Structure formats: C-alpha cells, structure tokens
A and B are shown apart, each in its own frame.
Chain A
C-alpha cells in the first residue's frame, strides 16, 4: 500500500485490502472509483487505496468468484463496471471478518496486559 506523506496514514496489513473491498461491496453494487472513495471516507482519510492495488485486487476477487461484475449506468450517466458480492464472497467475508475480530481481540489483549504490567 502506498500512502501520501501529507497526512497521518496507516499501513494496511497484508491481505486486508481484499477484506475491505468485500465489506464495502456489501453495501450494494459499486464501481472501482467509488470503492476507493468509500474506504478513504469511512477510514477518515487514514486508508488511501491506490489504483495500482485496487484494480488488480478487484480482478483477482472476480476471478475467484467472490465478486461479480456488470456494466451499468453510473450516477454521472456514463457506463461503469459495478461490482457486487456473490454468495461465495459473502461467506468468505463472514469467515474473514470473524478471524480478523479474533486476531485483533487477541492482539488487543496482549497489548492491554502489557499496559497493566507497567
């Protein structure tokens, strides 16, 4: 993940971009540009996704059958490629969200216990 130096940003841990994309897409069919915008908005500009990472990730997810795509008219009236979640993608998202929660919970426990010791 590349990020801008102008504002405080965080590095995305490996593999989380796929998870974020799947989550954003649950909200309804959406095109690539809007996905990047949403991620940026929701994370309050902490996470910025570059096209160089976003589009290969989208194509990979589509190729795996986690996303499906169709061409539709966008809000500006131009044709755009909209992605939506497949059943397989929904299942994958659920599994990965759970494992992510477990992992962050565990990391939080470890970090918290360190604080107590101090």
Chain B
C-alpha cells in the first residue's frame, strides 16, 4: 500500500520534492556562473528557465496519483475543524443521526439473523418442509405415519424425515423431571446433516416396533444427568417408566422447533395413531437429493399423492403434498412484521436525516460569504461540493458509529420484548454484515442530506453574494426548507396515527367477550407419575386422583381436565359429518375437539345455550357442540338430540350447545379457519388412546381466591404418593388472554416509541428552520416595527408562515396514512382503519407541538429592537 505510506509521509515527500528541485536550480546557477555570468545574472537566468516553481510541484503531485486522497484528507480535517468550532450543532446532528441509525441497525440486526442468514445446517438451502394439503384447509396438515412411510419409499427427489412431539418424565438417572421429548424417524439427523456429538444416530434396525429401546439425549441432559462423561453411551435412562439405552448425544445447540431433551425412535412407538392414515400429527422435513430442484420434487410428490389417493380413497382423495423451503417455513410468519418495523424505523431515520439536512442548509446559507471568498481564491465548484459532502459524511459516520453502539445495547431488550418466541432469536448478534449495512446506510444518508446544501453552492450565485456584500440572501433556501418541514410533518403524522390506531386496538380487543370467564382460573399441564402411564386403567385412576387432590386444596372451587386450553398452544382436531354416508376425508369440515371432564363448563365459565353438559354418567357417544358448529352443521334447526359423526369415534349424539370460546385468542379468533368446536367426555377416550392423551392432558381449576396463591399448595398436593407427579406451564387464564394480544401490544409500544421520536425530531426540525428563517427576516421585521407593527403582528406573521408549512404537512401525512393503514390492517389481526377520533387526536397533538415549536422563534422575533435591526442592514 504505497499510497497509504506516501499519505502518511506526506511532509517528507514534500520536503524531498522541494530538495530535488532546489538541487536542479542550484546546479543551473552554478553552470551559468561557470559560463561567465555574474551571480545575480545566473540566478535570474536559472529562474527564467525554471518557470513557475509551484506549478511544477503541483504537476509532480498530480503525477504521483495520490492527489484525490490528499484532497480527501484535507477536506476531512477541514470538516473536523468546522464541526469542532460549532460543538452544539455537531452534537445535535450526531445524536439525531445516532438515534435514527441505531434503531435501524437494531431492526437490521434482527432481520439479518432471522430472515437473511441460512439456517444453521449444512447446505440449508436444500432443506424443505413437507406438509399435506387439502382444498378446504390448505397446506396446514402434518403427515400421517403411513403417508410418511409411503412418501419415503416412493420419492426419488428427496430424502424425508419426520418427528412427533411427546412430553415425558425422566425418572432415572437423577430426580424425576418433565422433559421435552420427540420421537424421530431414524434418518432425521442425517437428513438435517447434523453429526452427533457422541455415539451413533438411529438406524433402520431401531425404527420398528419391538426393537430394543434406545434413546439419544441432548447435550443438556448429558451434562446434567451423566456429568458429560463419554461413558454415558450404553448407560440406561428411564423415560415414562420405560427403560432405554443411551446410544448418542446431540450437539449442544441442536434445536428442532425448540429445545429437545430426549429423542426416541418413531418406529418403536405403540401409539395407535401410527397405523392411522387419517391421524396427521407428524411434522416433516426433507433434503432435496443432488440434482433435484424444488419444482421437480414438488411434481414428484404430486404424483405420489395422486397414487396414494388411488390406493386409499377414503383417507387420501383430494390430498396432496406441499413443499416449502425450510427457512421460509421457519421465519415466513415474522417476515411481514419485521419488514413493517424496518419501514417504521426507516421513517424515523428519514426524519432525522431531514433534520440534519435543514440544519446544514441553514449553515451553508450563513457561510455563503466565506464560500464566495474561497471561490474568488480559486476553489472550483466540484471542490466546494466535495467539501460539503465530506462534512455531512463525517457527521453521518459519527452518527452511525454511535448508532452501532446503541444497537449493540438495544438488540437484546428488543428481542425480549418480542411477542411470543422470535424464531432463531439465539442467532441474533451484530456481525460484519450489520456493520457493513450501518456504514452503507450512514454513507447513503450522509450523501442524501449533504447533497441539498452542497448543490446549493453554485459558483454563480456565490459571485453575486460577494458582489452583494457580506449579507446573505436566504430567498432560494426558503422553499427547500419549507419542503423539509412539510415532509417531516407528513412522516410524523403517519407514525402518530399508526401508533394511535395501534394503541386503540388492544383496548378495543380486550373489551371483546372471550366466551368464557377468564377471572380466577388457573391452568397447568400435568405430568402423571411414570408408573401410571403404562396401563390405561391405572391412568384413568390417576387422573381421577389428580382431580380429587386438586379439589382438596383450600381456595379451589372446582377442577377439570382438558386436552386443549383456550388461547394456549396445542390443539386437537376432528373431522365431522351429519349424514350417515361419510364424505371423502379431505372434504370433511373440521372442528376443534376438547376431551373434558364434567366440571369443564363450570370451571371455564362458558354459557350453556341449549340442552345439557356432561355428567359422570356420560361414557359413550355423547358430544356437546358450540354455537358456531351448530350454525354450520344444523343451521336453524335445534341440534340437541341430532346425530353427529366424528372421525375415529363414529356416531355420537349432540346433548347440548354452548357458547363460542375465542380459542385462537381475542384478536385472531375471528380470522381463523378453524372455529367450530366440540367437546366430548374424557371418560369416552378409548383405552388404546389413553397413553397419548395422558401425555398431554392439562388441568384447570376455578378459585375463590387469587389464582396464583393456590399454585404452591396445588403443586404440593398433586405430587402424588410416589412424589413423582408434577404440574408445569402454570398460567392464569387472564395471562393467556392478555398474551393473545401481545403482538398488538408490542406493535403499539414500538410504534409509540417511534412516533414519540418522530414528533420530537419533527419539532426540533420545525424549531430550527423557523429560528433560522426568522433570523433572516430580522431586518424586515425591523422595518415593519419601525413603521408601526406591534409585537403581536410580528408573532402572527411568523406563525402564519409556519402554519402554512404545518398544514401542508398534515394534509400530505393524512393521505400517506390512508395507504399505510391498509398495510397495517393486513398485518395485525383485529386492526381497524383509523377512526376519525384517532386521526383528530393525533393531528391535534402534532399541531400543538408544532405550533409550540414555532412560537419560540416567533416570540423572539417580536422582541427585536427596530433600531438595531435596521442598523444590521
């Protein structure tokens, strides 16, 4: 890097150039003297022969090819000097930009890690998710095990792997603890391309019923229960009362849609759903085989789906497979939200840029005499523009650097605020891409807000300035300044109205009726004692015992069991029909199905509309439906006593109708596809299904005291005779209801912050511009006051000027808000168009703030002394 060295040694290079030329000159003088000239004649002749020394030096510098760098360095030092001379200005500008670029950097850091970076698997772009799809409910179906097996053997274009969720309790080695366990097909690890840390993955020999029970444990379990010893391979592990042999340890950060503690072979499980082609409970991924494209794999799967429909018309007619890139499937849900936030943050950054641009513009105008002098001394226009741009770039880079610091501090709290779990949150950190992005944004914004003042410095205008004397002429900048204020206000209006509307959304939604009484209800998942899981009769007894023990806790009025809980993750669905002939499965309407005990209605506080709810005597064939299902299946006729056919359960009789519960959350339920809901007695669950149901049943209790106060007594009472029974994921229904609005609240909070920031920046902008414009008009006000204008008249004059800009900005902002509002309605469930009231309130806030910001300069203008103002002329 010789040019860098030359730049560093610039003084030395200059000295050498001087010495070289001086040597030549002296030689020439000496030669002339030898030729017989006097000393003064010799010097004179040499000087004549030499020409302009400075010119030669300039040409030599040009010849070195580092000229641009020297100029840049000079401009940079000049920019630092001018900024240091006005520290207040520099501080305001840098802070403003730091806020803007800091917020933008936080958003980009998240977007980079979540949306842009490939998933942490080798060749992750070859991984896809596999779903089944029907016309009625789209590609929301998971795979059934028989479909998965057929897909696996028939597909030439991809290698699929599937897994099923299953909770579980490890009881040895170590204390009993509930863990997240999954059952995986044998090739899951190899399909994902993840090598095991220790031991081996499952092979085909493990993946069949009756094979020796083997287990792969997570790094966490390996550390906590086996002390991280390599000898763990081959040691026993007791899961849900069954004895397994550890064969492998997964790598430390391995995730499968969340943390997993224990992996068991899917093919070994005795779950009756495994033989059922209509039980869609397996998420699946696949790796495209070498050479296969997504489109080729998709058509390959279409053919397989078609063949399956021919072979198994009852379950598979109208059913196909659908592939999605794995990254898309993992993060597609948060993309619109992240991009929306990036857009909002971008507006804040833009407002910040405009602020700095108008500050720079005002300064450029007041520096016109200085610039005119430089032009007169020979500076070219290009050099002046470069000058101005260097200064704005220095500001932008300083702001960007501070912004990166802000982002480094702010990104964790931001993720903590995220509603629910942000996918890939653990991968979010600042990296070189983020730094590159911020530097690029800084350079771009620096050019953007430096350009307006830079291009203003036209040489012709500057010559006129010089001729006009020291007074500068603000006329040309006034229009640009007004444009700045108008656009700032417009953007602030967009953010304010969006924030206002978002602010009203949770308020309006939380006043919605959830369909149940959420107060004084506590829900929890229950992990039965492992010993009770092996035998259906023991399981039923254990569940009865759970209810009895719960009812015995003081403060608990009633207790119930249910497999699914409103507004919490987890669902169970059944297809239903009303005619004796079953339509093809893919045509069946689907209902949420809750297996509950008789007290469910009482605990949850759901209204009974018709008929009755269950009693302990309901053993077989009775269901209760909600009013939405009643409307869909039976229309206006009374459903009580009618027949309802259910998948996997056969014919049932409707004994009652209850009110609709917003299962999907206060906001999202209205837009959900799956709103029909039916209830059947837990006692009706067949023996073969008891192990499955027992692994995910929850309990709910209604309390006469504050629900959280019964948590500890309940936990103690439920521990059971063996002390190895536990409750987990304990929540109040109020918490669940409120959490169902967390997305709305999150957006409200962020937009509130953004809007506040925008309002603040816009006010600073208005204040700065008006203060400047007013100071330019001081002589004019002097004349007006000298011929009789009063202070009030001057205030009015200034306010009228600002009111013009503010109103123009508000009008532009309202138009932009209409467009932005539609975007928000698409993205946020329960969001309605901004009501006139919200509009009016937010615009009023802005008007008041803007007028206050303009009042200060106006008042100052009215206090000027006409005589001194006139003398300034």
Task: Please list the residues of chain A having a beta carbon within 8 angstroms of any beta carbon in chain B.
Answer: 31-33, 36, 50-52, 55-57, 59-60, 63, 71, 74, 76, 78-81
Contacts and interface: CB of A to CB of B under 8 A. Distances in A.
The interface residues of chain B, by DSSP majority, are classed as helix
Contact of B51 (A32, A51, A59, A79): A51
B306 to A, nearest CB: 70
Interface in B842-870: none
Nearest to A36: B24
Given A56-B59, A59-B64, A63-B63, A81 B20 contact: yes
B412 interface: no
12 contacts: A33-B28, A36-B24, A50-B49, A50-B51, A51-B24, A51-B49, A51-B51, A51-B56, A52-B59, A59-B63, A59-B64, A78-B26
A105 to B, nearest CB: 32
B25 to A, nearest CB: 8
A52 B24 CA distance: 12
Given A51-B21, A81-B19, 6 more contacts: A51-B50, A56-B62, A56-B63, A71-B16, A79-B23, A81-B20
Contact of B21 (A55, A57, A78): A55
Given A50-B51, A63-B64, A56 B56 contact: yes
Contact of B16 (A60, A78, A81): A81
A52 B47 CA distance: 12
Contacts of A36: 24
B408 to A, nearest CB: 42
Contacts of A50: 49, 51
B153 interface: no
Contacts, number: 58
A97 to B, nearest CB: 23
A55 B19 contact: no
Contact of A55 (B20, B28, B49, B65): B20
B2 to A, nearest CB: 9
B229 interface: no
Contacts of A79: 19, 23
B55 A52 contact: yes
Interface residues of B, number: 22
A60 B55 CA distance: 15
A99 to B, nearest CB: 23
Nearest to B53: A51
B44 interface: no
Contacts of A71: 16
B535 interface: no
B23 A55 contact: no
B60 interface: yes
A17 to B, nearest CB: 13
Contacts of B59: 52, 55-56
Interface string B144-163: 00000000000000000000
B20 A32 contact: yes
Contact of A52 (B16, B30, B56): B56
A50 B46 CA distance: 11
Interface of B: 16, 19-21, 23-24, 26-28, 30, 49-52, 55-56, 59-60, 62-65
Contacts of A74: 23
Nearest to B58: A56
B53 to A, nearest CB: 9
A36 B64 CA distance: 21
B28 to A, nearest CB: 7
Contacts of A59: 60, 63-64
B49 A63 contact: no
A18 B452 CA distance: 45
B65 A63 contact: yes
Contacts of B16: 71, 81
Question: Top 10 A-B pairs ranked by shortest CB distance?
Answer: A56-B59, A59-B63, A60-B63, A33-B27, A33-B24, A59-B60, A56-B63, A81-B20, A52-B51, A80-B23
Nearest to B20: A81
A32 B65 CA distance: 20
Contacts of B56: 51-52, 55-56
A78 B22 CA distance: 11
B49 to A, nearest CB: 7
B35 to A, nearest CB: 13
B48 to A, nearest CB: 11
A60 to B, nearest CB: 4
A55 to B, nearest CB: 5
B95 to A, nearest CB: 43
Nearest to B50: A51
Nearest to A65: B2
Given A50-B49, A51-B49, A56 B60 contact: yes
Contacts of A32: 20, 23-24
A50 B51 CA distance: 9
Which of B55, B62, B63 is packed against the most chain A CB atoms within 10 Å? B63
Contacts of A63: 63-65
A74 B19 CA distance: 13
A70 to B, nearest CB: 11
Contacts of A56: 56, 59-60, 62-63
A55 B25 CA distance: 12
Contacts of B50: 51-52
Nearest to A59: B63
Contact of B23 (A33, A52, A60): A33
A81 B64 CA distance: 16
B494 to A, nearest CB: 54
Contacts of A51: 21, 24, 49-51, 56
Contacts of B65: 63
B23 A31 contact: yes
B20 A80 contact: yes
A67 to B, nearest CB: 12
A14 to B, nearest CB: 16
* Most chain B CB inside 10 Å of its own CB: which residue of A56, A71, A79, A80: A56
A80 B23 CA distance: 7
B5 to A, nearest CB: 13
A21 B198 CA distance: 72
Nearest to B21: A55
B65 to A, nearest CB: 5
B400 to A, nearest CB: 34
Contacts of A60: 63
Nearest to B26: A78
A82 to B, nearest CB: 10
Interface centre among A52, A74, A76 (most CB of B within 10 A): A52
A91 B429 CA distance: 53
A54 B6 CA distance: 21
> Which has the most chain B C-beta neighbours within 10 Å: A31, A71, A74, A81?
A81
Contacts of A57: 63
B29 to A, nearest CB: 11
A89 B23 CA distance: 25
A65 to B, nearest CB: 9
B6 to A, nearest CB: 9
Nearest to A79: B19
Contacts of A33: 23-24, 27-28
